[in-house]
Each structure stands twice: as structure tokens, then as C-alpha cells.
Amino acid sequence: MSKKVLKERIVTIPQVKKTLESIGEEHLDQFQRRSLDYASKFSKVDSDKAEELVNKLMGEFGLDETEAVEMVNCMPESIEEIRAFLAGGRKIVETSKLKGILVLLDEYRKKSEG
């Protein structure tokens, strides 16, 4: 008898929305419908852009996956807000890096609103 292995994976809110929509609302249970409602209200970029943005935050700015996903989920709008996501302020991050992250987030924010 073969065993199925489940893998835990960190995903953005927009990716959750896309996954639940792909199942079809008529096939979702109550919890999944609530999750879809939440994801629809709080997705700040579309799912393809979210994944791309996570990869850029990790590649260009050295964020770990959890930090990058949290940033995409919340899309902070100031350097102070970004600092709050980076290890709760336990590590010192150069202001130039924080500004770069903000510029990148703003680019994606504009694309998704346009």
C-alpha cells in the first residue's frame, strides 16, 4: 500500500483565491467559501503577479519566502510598515534596500489597479 505525502507550502492570498476559484464555488464547502470570500476581498494583486513579486522579493532583496509572502499579502505602503515585516525589526535592514522594496511593491500595486 502506497502512502500519500502531503507537503506544506506557503502561498499568497491571491494564489488561494485562484485555487479556490478553479475548484468552482458550487464544489466548495462552507469553510472554503468563507476562505474564497476573504481572499477575494483582500487580494491586492492577481495571482500570477503575486507569484512573480514573491520571487523578485526573494531574489533581488534576499527576503525569505515567508517574509516575501507576507509582504505580497499586505502590500505595505511605507518603509516603516516594511520594517515591521522583516523579522519584527530584529534585523537591521539598510534604508536603500527598504526603499527598493517599496518601489517594487508600488510598481505591482499600480499594475494591478490599472
Q: Can you give the pLDDT at residue 114? A: 47
pTM of the model: 0.84
Give 64's DSSP letter.
Answer: -
**All domains of the chain in start order, with CATH:** 13-42 (no CATH), 47-113 (1.10.150)
Query: How far is the CA of 28 from the CAs of 15, 71, 91, 98, in angstroms?
Result: 16, 28, 41, 40
**What pLDDT, in 10s, does the model give residues 9-62?**
899 999 999 999 999 999 999 999 999 999 999 999 998 899 999 999 999 999
**What pLDDT, in 10s, does the model give residues 53-92?**
999 999 999 999 999 999 999 999 999 999 888 866 567 7
